[in-house]
Every structure is written in structure tokens, then in C-alpha cells.
Amino acid sequence: MAKKSEAILQLSGGTEWLGQVREVRHPLDLIHPLRVMDRRVAAGGRLPQPSVPFPERHPYCEFNLVLEGGGDQFIGLEKVKRGPGDVMLIGPGIPHYGTLMEYPSRVIVVYFLPVLLFEMGPCGDGAHILSRFTSSRTISQRVVRLPKTLRAQFVSHFEIMLREFDDPKPGWELSVRARLMDALVALIRWEGSTGQTLSNHSSSPNWVQIEKILHFIYGHYTEPLYIEQIAREAGLSADNLHTLFRDTFGMSCVQYLRAYRVSHAASLLCLPEARVTEVAFAVGFETLSHFNTSFRQFLGMSPREYIRSHKSNK
């Protein structure tokens, strides 16, 4: 069976990406709400190498652990050094990027839909942990150097999650979720023991409404959707919906919906004999021109260029 995780190619570049943040494809849905990737780079040049071809800004939560190597991590306009034992927590819509400076480099990354944590209760532990990803943070709060007492435990959790995802056996998803939750609980408990209150959600948004909105988007993104319709599902006005999404994810509901559609379109375009027009309508775009514009905005190339790029890389 071919592995579902993947390595990332090396490309040269600087910090010009900060003004050109685009979406990256990690297609997830309610049936497959998480993904685990193994990013490895064996060697690089003397100059810093970007860890991904262009900056990431996706509609998912990201939790990753550096196992080997090091470099600079950019989140927005902030920068911090990263090395083995560092974890990073990123919520939807947050632009981030890294450069590699020490080799070999290895990072295990877990992507998951925000609603994954709602199964723990949108008013309880689920919201408590999700706020650790979505609330406003400094880069030093998003990139955390684990204490030695936790590093071996986290390496074990991430290695098992990757192994279960790459070679799925009955119960693999329950195993991955359990390890993910164990790691997150260990992190926030350690932070609490050091006097930090980074996961305090006393002023967080109404997660019950957020859950309704996200479930509605995930279940209906292939259909024509309008802001008034989405807001009505959550019992909100269009203006309140806009404010809620901005405050929670740092992006509008329209942007989130478009990003989610484009991420699924990119996945479909990788299939043999994919047709751009059919894919555009399949993921909910009402016109081909709107699809082409959105795709280029988020991925930096047209759908046809993306198909050619995928075939070339393959």
C-alpha cells in the first residue's frame, strides 16, 4: 500500500511570501476529518530552504512536532527558531511558513477539522482545547519547546499516529484520535502546571453556533450556499456571522467556504481524466470563472496549471 503521508520538496526563497499568502491543499471532510503527514528532507544547501513550496493558510487545525533538524518558523510577521522537541499549534486561516537550516529534517504533522474536538463537547473540554488553536496568540505561544519530561511521550504519540494513518488496520482512526487527544491534554496540563492559562476560553465565541455553521458547510459545500442561508442555520444575522468567523478564525465565512471548496477541488483535479468544469461544479462553484479566480487566488495557479504540475511531480 502506498503511504498516505508525504515529503516536501525544497525550493529557494525569502520572506516575500508574507504578502502572497495562499491556501494549501489538505482536503478533509466529516468522513475523513484528520490527516497525518511525515515531512522529511535529507539534505539542503547552505542557504535557508523553505519547508513548503509556498506559505500555508488552510481551513484546518494543525498540530506538528519537530523530530530532527531545525530552522526559522514564520507565523504572520513573527519569527522564531525551531528545533527537535518543538510543537506548533495553528488554527484555521493563520498564515505560517518555515525555513530549514539543519539537516536531516523531519516533522510529523497532524491536520484535523475543528469539529473533531466538538465530539468532546462544544461547551466543555472540546472548546477548551480548540481555543488553544484558534484564539489570538503570540508566536512564542504557538511554537512551544516541550520539557524533557514530555518529549519522549510526544515522539511516541506522533510516531504511532503516523504509523496508524499510513498502514490503517481496524480501529486505526480511534487510535489516532486517542493519541492526538492524549498529546493535547498533556500539553495544556503542563502549561497549567507552569502557571500559563493559554487554553482559557472564558471569553471565547459561542462554540455551539460555530459547530452548527461548520457542520452545515461541510455537509452542503457542494451546493449553492449564501451567507444569509448559513447565518439562518445558526440563528444569526449575516453581520453577526461575519463577526463570529473573523473573531474565531481570523477569516470571513465566505473565505472559509471558498478555501474548503478549493481544497477539495485540488484533490479531485489529481484524479485521472479530471475535467476542470466538472470539478468546479462538483465542489459548489456556480460559474467556471469564479472557480478559476478562487483557485488562482488560493493556490497561485490556474486549475489547468495545477493539473500539469501534479502530473509533472508524479
Q: Within 10 Å of residue 292's Cβ, how many Cβ atoms?
A: 16
Q: Supply φ then ψ for residue 85, to 5 degrees.
A: 90, 0
**What pLDDT is attached to residue 65?**
98
Average pLDDT, the chain: 84
**Cβ atoms 137, 199 nearer than 8 A:** no
pLDDT, block means (10 residues), the chain with 314 residues: 38 43 65 93 80 72 96 92 97 88 95 84 72 89 95 98 96 96 94 74 69 93 94 92 85 89 88 92 95 84 85 62
**What pLDDT is attached to residue 73?**
95
Integer-rounded Cα radius of gyration of the chain: 19
- 224: preceding bond cis by omega (within 30 degrees): no
**Model pTM score:** 0.81
**What pLDDT is attached to residue 2?**
39
**What pLDDT is attached to residue 79?**
94
- C-alpha 282/C-alpha 29 separation (Å) is 15
**Cβ atoms 8, 41 nearer than 8 A:** yes
**What pLDDT is attached to residue 3?**
47
Going along the chain from its start, the domains and CATH numbers come out as: 16-193 (2.60.120.280), 207-313 (1.10.10.60)
